[in-house]
Amino acid sequence: MNHSALRRNITRLTTLSCSLFLCASAFAAPLRSPWDALSIPAASRPYACPDIAPLPRDIVAYDYYSDVRKSIPDPVRLHAYQQAAAPFHRTMIDVEHAADFYLRSGSLAAAACVLQILDANARNHAITGTMASNQSYYVQNWTLGALAVTYLKVRDSAAGTPAERREIVRWLVQVARCTQDYFSERRAKQTKDGRNNHLYWAGFAVMSAGIAADNRGLCKWGIGTYRDGVRQIAPDGTLPLEMARGRRALHYHLFAAEPLVTMAEFGEANGQDLYAFDRGALHRLVVRCVSGLEDNAWFARKTGFPQDEPGLHLTSSDVAWMRPYERRFPGPAIATLIRQVRSSSVEYLGGDPPP
């Protein structure tokens, strides 16, 4: 092979490698989050940090649906789950309020609060122990994603200490490995939760931790789950595994779209157009979700079940994840939905969505 041909082959292989992932060379820039582009002036505004109660190492939580479609909650089991999940929700909300207050106000006290809560959990080795069930793993990865994002929101602040940051990042990676191991095994076995919305939430969580740690392996794994999800989007914009959820079909399409759109935003922050993957299939899912929120009759007709989404009023979880999407791809239908919801915070996404 002559030198010209060799150079052409090397160039071709390099281009292919970079298109598959965020070109992991020794000279690649550190992984970035959408919040790294913000410039937050530091302020001395006070912030009342709540009492810190680190989460447990073990998670004991069980599924609460009573039917084969997993669409009808059993009241007794749902109550038990809500009690088991309450400390995790409380911690997510506490740290998200502090992180988003920092972004709005520049309060170093709020940023310090975020780091103190995360550091306390890191030093307690929270959520790294025994998982009692599949549902426990879901709680683990939802918690990881939310908390990793709050770290990304404040990591450029002057709050905290280097020791805190090292401990937090080490812990985020440890939890991400647990989530990665569980879902990698489920993917290999082609189980439902190894292919449906749970996988995309796991990808979002692991990708968030990967960006926090500048760990390209974790970030690449998250992008792989994104691709798995987007490849499943049908020509009509639906996800087959979520359509099988009967009366909860629209709900789970919305729930699946949340992490997928957010991972696409993470890709944009790192120079990778994930929105364009598979000929822009993600746009079909968003369009289907928007039309379903405007009128869920299509989902009812296709599934044979009346839909329980939306309820009497739209919630932030229904539409807040659309905010970054609408800024890139503006449209009157999405804008109308967004205006109907006051809050922009989504608990499992770490609070307010990417700017």
Query: If you average pLDDT over residues 155-180, what whole number do you get?
Result: 97
Per residue in 96-130, pLDDT tens? 999 999 999 999 999 999 999 999 999 999 999 99
Confidence of residue 141 (pLDDT cuts 50, 70, 90): very high
Coil, strand or helix: which one is 201? helix
- The pLDDT score that the predictor gives to residue 28 is 80
SS percent in the chain: helix, strand, coil, step 5: 65, 0, 35
| C-alpha gyration radius of the chain | 20
Per residue in 12-61, pLDDT tens? 433 334 444 444 434 589 999 999 999 999 999 999 999 999 999 999 99
The answer to whether residue 207 scores a pLDDT higher than 80 is yes
Cis status of the peptide bond prior to 310, with omega within 30 of 0: yes
- The pLDDT score that the predictor gives to residue 27 is 53
Architecture of the CATH domain 49-349: Alpha/alpha barrel (1.50)
Residue with tokens 């299509």: 298
Query: If you average pLDDT over residues 73-80, what whole number do you get?
Result: 97
The Cα–Cα gap between 88 and 12 comes to: 47
Per residue in 298-346, pLDDT tens? 999 999 999 999 988 899 999 999 999 999 999 999 999 999 999 999 9
Give the burial string for 17-53 (b: 16+ CB within 10 Å, else e). Answer: eeeeebbeeeeeeebbbbbeeeebeeeeeebebeebe
Which amino acid belongs to residue 335? A
The Cα–Cα gap between 195 and 334 comes to: 27
The answer to whether residue 6 scores a pLDDT higher than 50 is no
- The pLDDT score that the predictor gives to residue 11 is 37
Per residue in 217-270, pLDDT tens? 999 999 999 999 999 999 999 999 999 999 999 999 999 999 999 999 999 999
Closest by CA to 88, choosing from 46, 41, 135, is 135
Q: Which two tokens stand for residue 23?
A: 């070109």
Q: Which is more confidently placed, 250 or 10?
A: 250
The answer to whether residue 179 scores a pLDDT higher than 60 is yes
Q: Which is more confidently placed, 7 or 215?
A: 215
Cis status of the peptide bond prior to 240, with omega within 30 of 0: no
- The pLDDT score that the predictor gives to residue 311 is 85
The answer to whether residue 67 scores a pLDDT higher than 50 is yes
Give the burial string for 87-105 (b: 16+ CB within 10 Å, else e). Answer: ebbebbebbbbbbbbbbeb
- The pLDDT score that the predictor gives to residue 16 is 39
Closest by CA to 164, choosing from 202, 206, 112, is 112
The Cα–Cα gap between 212 and 153 comes to: 10
The Cα–Cα gap between 348 and 325 comes to: 17
- The pLDDT score that the predictor gives to residue 355 is 94
Q: Which two tokens stand for residue 77?
A: 């089991």
Instruction: Name, in order, each residue with C-beta under 8 angstroms of 29's C-beta and a sequence gap of 6 or more.
Output: none
